[in-house]
Amino acid sequence: MNPSLNALLVVVLVLNLFALGTSRLVTVIKIVSLQGVLLGIMPLLIETEIGMSVIFTSVAGIALKGIIIPFMMLRAMRDVQIKREMEPLIGFLPSMLLGALATGLALLFSKALPLADEHTTQLLVPAALATIFVGFILLTTRVKAITQVMGYLVLENGIYIFGMLLLGAMPLVVELGVLLDLFVAVFVICIIINHINQAFSSLDTRRLVSLKE
């Protein structure tokens, strides 16, 4: 049992719901970056012996998810001049309720999972599942390209939370490789978002249907 870790995870779960409930893109970006910072702190709470490599990945994670990616997303937002998400396929309030429901179900479901003894009292598994689900809601129900990217980042955060169970399985190089991939992904996506905006004069992904059969 690790009370401060569980407290952080509860904050992450609440942030999920806020991300679902707002239409302002700046708010979503800020929420996701705050989530990234909280995730970066977690390994420091879990590890009993804090070595250089833990501190290093932690700092790299916080710098990337808390500062660099939000900065890139805000710049992309400014370049394409949009501020708000449009009314999504599932409204803001219903999707928030859906997220809350998913969180509850994740808590129940993880009780049924075969977990190692030291993990049964932690919120890591339900928090990971709920965050992944929220990421999927954002990805599938929002129409602006930028919000979909935020959904992808939330999904990635959820997977990262699950990775906390396995500190040690991912060596430093691989951990950094994952972060590098994330950075390049956001970088490439920002460029493509710019292209989409120029070619379609909009970031509404519902317009990207000319190639459908």
Partner 1 sequence: MAFFMILFPLFMAVVAAVVPSDRIRPWLLPVTGAVHLGMVLLVLANPDLAGETGWLVLDPLGTIVLLVVSTLFFFCSIHVVDYLKHSHTKNNRVFCICFNAFIGVMTLVTWSHHLGVMWVAIEATTLVSAPLVCFEKTPSSIEATWKYLVICSVGIALALLGSFFLAYASLLAGIEPTLTFEHLLHQAPLLSKPWLHAAFVLMLVGYGTKMGLAPMHTWLPEAHSEAPAPISAMFSGALLICAFLAILRIYHICITAGDLAFVSPLLIFMGLFSMAVASVFVVGQKDFKRMLAYSSIEHMGILALGIGMGGAALFGTMYHVMTHGMTKGLLFLSAGNIYHAYGSKNTDHVSGALQRLPISGTLFLVGFLAIIGSPPFGPFISEFSILSAGFNSGHAVACAFFLVFLLIIFIGMGATVLKVVQRRDPTPTPQPVFKESLQSILPPIFLLGLVILLGVHIPAPLSDLLHNAVSFLEIQP
What residues make contact with partner 1 under the rule CB under 8 A? 113-116, 132, 139, 145, 148, 152, 155-156, 159, 162-163, 165-166, 168-171, 173-174, 177-178, 180-181, 184-185, 188-189, 191-192, 195-196, 199-200, 205, 208, 210-211, 213
* Smallest separation (angstroms) from partner 1 to the CB of 184: 5
Rg over CA atoms, the chain: 18
Give the position of tokens 């990775």: 163
Angle between helix 145-163 and 69-80 (nearest 10): 170
Compute the least distance from the CB of residue 38 to partner 1, in Å: 19
Shortest distance in whole angstroms from residue 196 CB to partner 1: 6
Residue 97 or 170: the one with the smaller Cβ distance to partner 1 is 170
Report the C-alpha gap between 106 and 120 in whole angstroms: 13
In the complex, least distance from residue 93 CB atom to partner 1, rounded to whole angstroms: 25
49-66 burial by CB neighbour count: b if 16+ within 10 A, else e? Answer: eeeeebeebbebbbebbb
Q: Which residue, 75, 134, 80, 78, is CA-closest to 104? A: 134
Q: Which of 104, 34, 96, 111 has the alpha carbon at shortest distance from 65?
A: 34
- Least CB distance from residue 161 to partner 1, whole Å? 10
Cβ proximity to partner 1, 42 vs 145, nearer residue: 145
Indicate the residue among 31 and 133 with the shorter CB distance to partner 1: 133
Question: For residues 18 and 200, which CB has a smaller minimum distance to partner 1 in the complex?
Answer: 200
